[in-house]
Structure 1
Amino acid sequence: MGQSSSTEQVSPELREVQSLAASTGALPALEKSFSLLSDPHTNSIPLNSLQKCFSLTFENGISEQTAVQKELPVLLSHLGSAIVDLFFLADKNGVSWIEFLKGYVKCCGRTVASTSLTNLFQVFSTMFSKAGLPVKLQFESYEDDCKISGSLLPIDLLLLLWICWILLSDSRTLKLNLQKSRGDWSLPDISHLVLSAIESCAEGGHKLDHWDCIVSDLDVLLPVMKIHLWALKTVPNLADCFVQFVHARLCSSATHEEKMKPSCSSAHENSPAEICNTNLLTSGRAWAISLSLRSPMHEEISKICFPSNAGDINENLLYRSSLHGKGLNRFWSNVEGYNGQLLMLISAAHEDNKNTRKWIISALTDQGFENREMSYGTSGCLYAISPVYHVFSSSGKEKNFVYSHLHPTGRVYDAHPMPVGIAFGGSMGNERIFMDEDFAMVTVRHHAVDKTYQHGSLFPSQGFLPVEASVSEVEVWGLGGKNAKKVQASYKKREEIFTEQRRKVTKFLSMLAFQRLIGLQLLIIYFFLTIAG
């Protein structure tokens, strides 16, 4: 293997790089991988073997809404050589053990997010150069840093995001030990992410019709440094797609050598696009949200992005208004007792200058919904989902994260009733988002009324005045894992038992009352008969 034996003297350089690799927890797997990939005569990995390890092919790809660009298969064919050329230094025999570890640490070692993102851009630029395609990116390497300059077109960014999706899909396939296959597969619609970058990065006050544009046809230059900042703020996990791919490809070869075939898989093989498109939370929208999460919720929502089979798509779906019925009571019967994190999506439409504007917004809570007369929660996020994607996390100023209140029971009259419905942010009567009890209308207010969540528009051209929109669909997804579902199942079972017990008690009391009434009537009759006698 590439390691030095215990009797040999280990150089300080090798000791340092082995320590860095060990800090990631991958050193044992890397040792096995190097042993499998290396030539025993030279004790080095041949370049073509390492390139093959990272190679992917793209066949008959389709997208949910946008035609797959012809450049994508060409770019992916140069992925393996781009990674090896950038990160793995080779001599005449190939890549030695120490250079193998150095390459892994450069790609997957612990570093700041901006460095990982720059690595991703370097791979992307190198793939373009090798494919003979024009890309306006320049890199200036320094001792501890790499400065990036230039610009990208929207179509370039779309290709970059699709490549990240493919890399993450492949790494999850290896991680979950799924069978890889070749053939048709689906890319998600991620136009909302590209529009988000255009809004944040385009210079010169570029005007967009968010509801009627094809992002791949837009001719606007996006400065790469602005894209860099946008990604760190909006999709901070984007570079992890590349990191996880390199890690999975190298470490999985240690135990799953047969998986290192040059093909890539996708959720489409097991979950047709038409199934995903029945949900508000499509694969592309779920992926966008997952790129902003760094917690166990990330893994749960990734199951929606990359389900292992078609049956897993709706595994976390707790409520859909078109399926379970509209209204707060129907909603409550499906989410009550779920104490994990929840993601609610609201699809609505309003009239704007005689045009119908459809949009989707979302709220992420850190706990289940509760029937209260005041706001609650300790953290959360609001999302603009469609037609453009934005994240509005906690501002840290107030804690009016969630408000959910049903009609009070057992109370005949209340001089000052609390609003019935579901709300996020703002204050009582001035909520950032408020949906009525019938799930018929949703009111969205300007961020000026809200000190709980960060500022920003929840849909394009929102304006300062409150907007009332008709609700077309509501979904709630549970992100608390299997334990939260088990707890909810136990809760519902107890409620069913209590309901049955209450029903029996009520029936018994009714029978007892009836018997007492009959007895009283008989007593009265006997009394009158006695008097008459």
Structure 2
Amino acid sequence: MGASSSKEQNVSSEQREVESLAASTGSTSLLQNAFSKLVDPQTNAIPLQSLQQCFSLNYKSTECEALKMPDSLLGLLNHLGPSIVDLFFITDKGGVNWIEFVRGYLKCCGRMPVSGLLNTLLRLFSATGVKAEIPLKLEVEAIDDGDYKINGSLLPIDVLMFHWMCWAMLWNSKTWNVFKEKECLYLPDISPLVLSAVVSCAEGGIGLEFLSMQDCKTALVRSKVHRSLQAHRLREISSEKAGNSRLLTCGKAWAISLTIRSTISQEILNPYFPSNSDASDENLIYRSSLHGKGLNRFWSNVEAYLGPLLILISATSGDANEDCTKSRKWVVGALIHQGFENRDMFYGTSGTLYAIDPVFHMCSPSGKEKNFVYSHLHPTGRAYEARPKPVGIAFGGTIGNERVYIDGDFARVTVRHHAVDKTYQPGSLFPNQGFLPVEALILEVEVWGLGGSKARETQLSYKKREDLFTAQRRKVDMKTFASWEDSPEKMMTDMMADPNRVRREDR
């Protein structure tokens, strides 16, 4: 059989090479089992129709978070499986043999230069659009060494379809062991991503700058190969929890995850896949409308969480005397890689600022300064300070000139121009920000813990210890309380009777 071990004497050097590359990805056993499951014993190859069916995405219906879905989207997704096979797997008369099966898998899931990631996805999008008879202004030109050049342009509706194609691949890879075949596809609201692409192109940028989209295709191919080994013992679960009324919606979570290439990317998306829907309550550390506004309420929920945290601030800016229709609502966020600390100076090792809504934009660290986060809560009993440090939370800039500053009451947020900040990259945090500081009313604040179960367990253990110490301090020794000689009332009575009496403290 084509999947036999390369230790045999009649194995070609070509087979040894592709098997060696597969072994470097740790997928040899998976590929051998999948090939033996799909192969036709007579031709010793996988029939083309079987492989196309393996990679197919056929959904009965869709559920959209906000935007109206284009009518052609389902047709595009129906042709995605055949397009993957045509682009990455070379077939002969009998189908796809073992060598080409492994080589095609490596083209989809193997490492490739950063410059080729976006081109690969655009090639797939263009080929699928041709099969679905969708008019796209994209031209794929083959050059030397198997590289391709993409020419043309994309309309905003094409950008939306491209992003949703990537999301559909990721959604399918995460829900295949939860939903039955051809179940509902949930589509998040990705309008900030689309607007980001349009704005970037208008400013001379590339627009589609999220390299983690490559992970969507990789996850789909891996899950499809793995699925070929599984019996359909799947169960139905409603996707209602995929979309919720929280500030961090599914679309916003995906947009942020696309900018992160670490385990945090997976952690931020966990609550929005049906198999992990229970994780939503665990990851939401603080919500101002639920836990109460103010730094004290905030601190009681985030204290001792020693993992990455994502904080989102929804605000509205505009003249209070103006008509309410002229006010602007926007959402900004910050990702820090350590917990909050009660300090009167900036601290941190890394972080990222985000303009999230209505236009998505990332401000990564600049490398010039390390004023990533400031969180100061006045402790009780502190001595008088002539120049007290401001109470609140801030990101970037310097004390008194913070890039983003939230006051201690969580009533207002101040956003300044990036010229005051050398910690984060420049960029507007909401449309038409301007050069002057903007003070806005806070509508909602959310904090999401992205450190996994270990960080959450550590925080819970800390809170249990604090609750135990508090309970012990509140206990009253009834024997002492009932003794008149040791009571504070007797001491006050004696002092009033003879205030000049010299008293000696018992040691």
CA distance 1:118–1:523, shift in 2 (3 Å): closer
1:377 aligns with 2:348: yes
The question of whether the paired residues in 2 share the 8 Å contact of 1:307 and 1:313 is answered with no
Deviations 1:183-205 (A, max 9, x none): 4443100000000000001379x
Quote the offset at 1:85 in angstroms.
Answer: 1.0
* Correspondence 1:231 to 2:208: yes
2:367 maps to 1:396: yes
- SS of the residue 1:314 aligns to: helix
SS at match of 2:247: coil
Indicate the SS of the match to 2:119. helix
1:218-268 deviation per Cα after TM superposition (whole angstroms, max 9, x unaligned): xxxxxxxx5xx4433xx22011101111121113323x1538x9xxx9xx9
Match of 2:273 among 306, 320, 331: 306
- Maintained 8 Å contact 1:441/1:470: yes
Give the distance between the partners of 1:82 and 1:429, measured in 2 at CA. 56
| Residues 105-114 or 360-369, more deviating | 105-114
- Partner of residue 158, structure 1: 160
Cα deviation, 1:97-128, whole Å, max 9, x if unaligned, reads 11111111111111123323222111111111
> Aligned equivalents of 1:511 and 1:372: distance in 2?
43
The one-letter amino acid paired with 2:198 is I
Classify 1:513/1:320 alpha carbon distance in 2 versus 1 (closer, same or farther; 3 Å).
Answer: farther
CA contact (8 A) 2:55 2:221 kept: yes
Superposition deviation, residue 173 in structure 1: 2.2
The corresponding residue for 2:315 is 348
- Secondary structure at the counterpart of residue 81 of structure 1: helix
Q: Is the 8 A contact 2:65 2:243 kept in 1?
A: no
Q: What do the CA deviations read for 1:499-518 (whole angstroms, capped 9, x no partner)?
A: 11222379998777983445
Alignment partner, residue 14 of structure 1: 15
**Which string of whole-angstrom CA distances, capped at 9 and with x for unpartnered residues, describes residues 288-336 of structure 1?**
1111111121121120332425433332000000000000001111111
Counterpart residue identity of residue 395, structure 1? S
Which residue number corresponds to residue 410 of structure 1? 381
The Cα of 1:179 is off from its aligned counterpart by: 4.0
- The answer for the alignment partner of 2:218 in structure 1 is 243
- Equivalent runs, 1:205-284 vs 2, <5 Å: 229-232=206-209, 235-254=210-229, 256-258=230-232, 269-272=237-240, 276-284=243-251
Contact 2:139/2:151 (<8 A) preserved: yes
**Partner Cα separation in structure 1 for residue 88 and residue 356 of structure 2:** 36
Structure 2 counterpart SS, 1:125: helix
The answer as to whether partners of 2:416 and 2:438 remain within 8 angstroms in 1 is yes
Q: Distance in 1 between matches of 2:393 and 2:197?
A: 31
**Residues 406/520 of structure 1: CA separation in 2 closer, same or farther (3 Å cut):** closer
Pairs within 5 Å for 1:2-401: 2-5=2-5, 6-141=7-142, 142-174=144-176, 177-202=177-202, 229-232=206-209, 235-254=210-229, 256-258=230-232, 269-272=237-240, 276-308=243-275, 310-351=277-318, 355-401=326-372
RMSD: 2.5
1:128-182 Cα deviation digits (max 9, x unpaired)? 11112211111122214211111111101101111111100111124xx424354
1:453 alignment partner, SS class: coil
Contact 2:186 2:239 in 1 (8 A): no
Letter in 1 for 2:152: G
Gaps of 5+ in 1: 205-225, 528-533
Give the CA deviation at 1:522: 8.5
- Partners of 1:399 and 1:507 lie apart in 2 by 53
One-letter amino acid of the structure 2 residue matched with residue 231 of structure 1: L
Q: Given residue 115 of structure 1, which amino acid in structure 2 is its aligned partner?
A: G
Indicate the SS of the match to 1:515: coil
Question: CA separation of 1:179/1:305 partners in 2, compared to 1, >3 Å: closer, same or farther?
Answer: closer
Q: Structure 2: 5+ residue runs without aligned partners?
A: 499-507
Amino acid at match of 1:92: K
Kept after mapping to 2: 8 A contact 1:342/1:477: yes
3-state DSSP class of the match of 1:292? coil
Deviation for aligned residue 1:382: 0.4
> Is the 1:271–1:313 contact (alpha carbons within 8 Å) kept by the matching residues of 2?
no
1:454 aligns to what SS in structure 2? coil
Q: How many aligned residue pairs are there?
A: 492
The share of aligned pairs that are identical, in percent, is 55
1:271: how far off? 3.8
* Paired AA for residue 74 in structure 1: G
- Aligned to 1:410, what secondary structure does the other structure show? coil
SS at match of 1:299: helix
Structure 1 partner of 2:442: 471
With the length of structure 2 as denominator, give the TM-score of the two structures.
Answer: 0.91
Deviates more, 1:6-15 or 1:116-125: 6-15
Q: Which residue number in structure 1 is paired with residue 462 of structure 2?
A: 491
Letter in 2 for 1:405: H
Q: Check conservation: 2:396, 2:423, Cα contact below 8 A.
A: yes
Q: Partners of 2:270 and 2:472 in 1: how far apart?
A: 39
Find the aligned partners of 2:254 and 2:489 in 1 and give their Cα distance: 67
Inter-partner Cα distance in structure 1 for 2:477 and 2:434? 54
* TM-score of the two chains, using structure 1 as the length reference: 0.87
